[in-house]
Amino acid sequence: MSVVSPRFVIQKHRASALHYDFRLEDEGVLKSWAVPKGPSLDPATKRLAMAVEDHPIEYAGFEGVIPGGEYGGGTVMVWDQGTYEPDVPDVTKSLRSGELPFHLRGKKLRGGWVLVRTRGRQWLLIKRKDAAASKTVDVTVTKPRSVVSRRLLAGIARDGGGDVKKAATGDP
């Protein structure tokens, strides 16, 4: 067991389609899911999360423009970051069994969450009922900016020589 809490990051990614890459540190990599609609604070709203390939830990800090011809080409924002506490003793084992309950300590997202596999690479990301839950606040709308630079997607694209118009379609 590590002494420091593992980290999490959510990268908002305006690629061929807008999505939020939800990443949890485990076993020296970032386990990753692409969440098309982003996280919901409403426990009744289950968000589709497609399991995607692991990313290196160093990628957690990346914000900027991926060139058009490359995989994932588009604009990437560090939408939230922090640490998480698994509510189970073995994250790897729980992910293999298809259900991981955990608590987030981010700048935007807090409290209890759970990832549940439905079939194949399809998972659901669900907020658990607690003080950080909300039936009314859409956090993707109320908190659209980068937690590391305060920029919107359009600003990140502009600074990185990317497609500003396309990036702006991902901003509220």
Which residue's CB is nearer to Mn ion, number 11 or number 94? 11
At its nearest, how many Å lie between Mn ion and the CB of residue 57? 16
Q: Which residues contact 101 (CB under 8 A, 6 or more apart)?
A: 86, 87, 88, 94, 112, 113, 114, 128
Answer whether 79's CB lies under 8 Å from 61's CB.
Answer: no
Which residue's CB is nearer to Mn ion, number 22 or number 102? 22
Which residue's CB is nearer to Mn ion, number 4 or number 70? 70
Footprint on this chain of Mn ion (rule: CB under 5 A): 13, 21
Q: Which residues contact 51 (CB under 8 A, 6 or more apart)?
A: 32, 33, 117, 121, 122, 123
Residue number with the smallest Cβ distance to Mn ion: 13
Backbone angles phi, psi at 17, to 5 degrees: -135, 150
At its nearest, how many Å lie between Mn ion and the CB of residue 1? 30
At its nearest, how many Å lie between Mn ion and the CB of residue 135? 28
Q: What angle do CA 167, 152, 56 make, to 5 degrees?
A: 80
Which residue's CB is nearer to Mn ion, number 13 or number 108? 13
CA atoms of 61 and 52, how far apart (whole Å)? 18
At its nearest, how many Å lie between Mn ion and the CB of residue 105? 23
CA atoms of 171 and 153, how far apart (whole Å)? 6
CA atoms of 59 and 63, how far apart (whole Å)? 9
At its nearest, how many Å lie between Mn ion and the CB of residue 163? 16
Tokens of 31: 């386990």
Which residue's CB is nearer to Mn ion, number 13 or number 31? 13
